[in-house]
């Protein structure tokens, strides 16, 4: 089992650009699901107010499902899930599920607060972008040194949805 902290450090040290990686998404999700020692502080206006352990919480959900579906006592279901190691395929499904939750919730028109952490307080909201004409840098020529020469180009873009990120300085950091 990979430690979440070690995995985050490893991935961060490998990359100096902000790119996406399905493989890393699954690795992080699997680590978060399996690492029962990983927890994060949850912050509110007064500072740290709670501790959240995603693996323990997820195991509680799984135990509840096992208990309800198999009609067995909760303590027996907890014992079954306690030492279970989630597989790569479990993590892949949870990544898909998590992304779909975010996409679905954003369509309610409400902000999705991601929760206060030690150094951030981020929320997301869906932002409709109206159709219209947009300018962009258009290559019109190449100079004698091989450098591209740009001029403003125009194109029509149909309406689409974007995500607006709210990330003010956390109140607990301002003190």
First to last CA, the chain: 38
Q: Where are the alpha helices (DSSP H) in 71-118?
A: 74-82, 88-106
How does residue 2 score in pLDDT terms, banded at 50, 70 and 90? confident
- Burial class from Cβ neighbours inside 10 Å (0-12, 13-18, 19+) for residue 37 reads exposed
Contact 42, 50 (CB under 8 A): yes
Mean pLDDT of 82-110: 96
Which pLDDT value is given to residue 175?
Answer: 64
pLDDT digits (tens, 9 = 90+) for 126-167: 999 999 999 999 999 999 999 999 999 999 999 999 999 999
Q: Where are the domains of the chain?
A: 1-106, 115-175
Cα angle 144, 148, 149 (rounded to 5 degrees) comes to 95
Q: Report how far residue 59's alpha carbon sits from residue 36's, in angstroms, rounded to the nearest whole number.
A: 9
The residue with greater pLDDT, 56 or 12, is 56
């Amino acid at each position: 089992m990979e430690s979440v902290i070690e995995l985050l450090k490893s991935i961060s040290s490998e990359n100096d650009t902000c790119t996406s990686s399905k493989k890393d998404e699954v690795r992080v999700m699997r680590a978060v699901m399996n690492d029962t020692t990983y927890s994060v502080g949850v912050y509110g206006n007064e500072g740290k107010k709670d501790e959240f352990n995603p693996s323990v919480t997820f195991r509680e959900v799984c135990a509840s499902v096992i208990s309800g579906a198999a009609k067995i006592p909760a303590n027996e279901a907890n014992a079954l899930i306690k030492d279970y190691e989630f597989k790569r395929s479990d993590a892949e499904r949870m990544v898909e599920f998590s992304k779909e939750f975010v996409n679905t919730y954003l369509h309610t028109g409400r902000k999705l607060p991601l929760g206060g952490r030690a150094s951030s307080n981020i929320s997301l909201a869906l932002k409709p972008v109206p159709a219209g004409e947009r300018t962009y840098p258009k290559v019109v020529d190449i100079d004698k040194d091989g450098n591209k020469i740009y001029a403003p180009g125009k194109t029509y873009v149909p309406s689409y949805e974007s995500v607006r990120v709210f990330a003010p300085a956390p109140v607990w950091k301002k003190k």
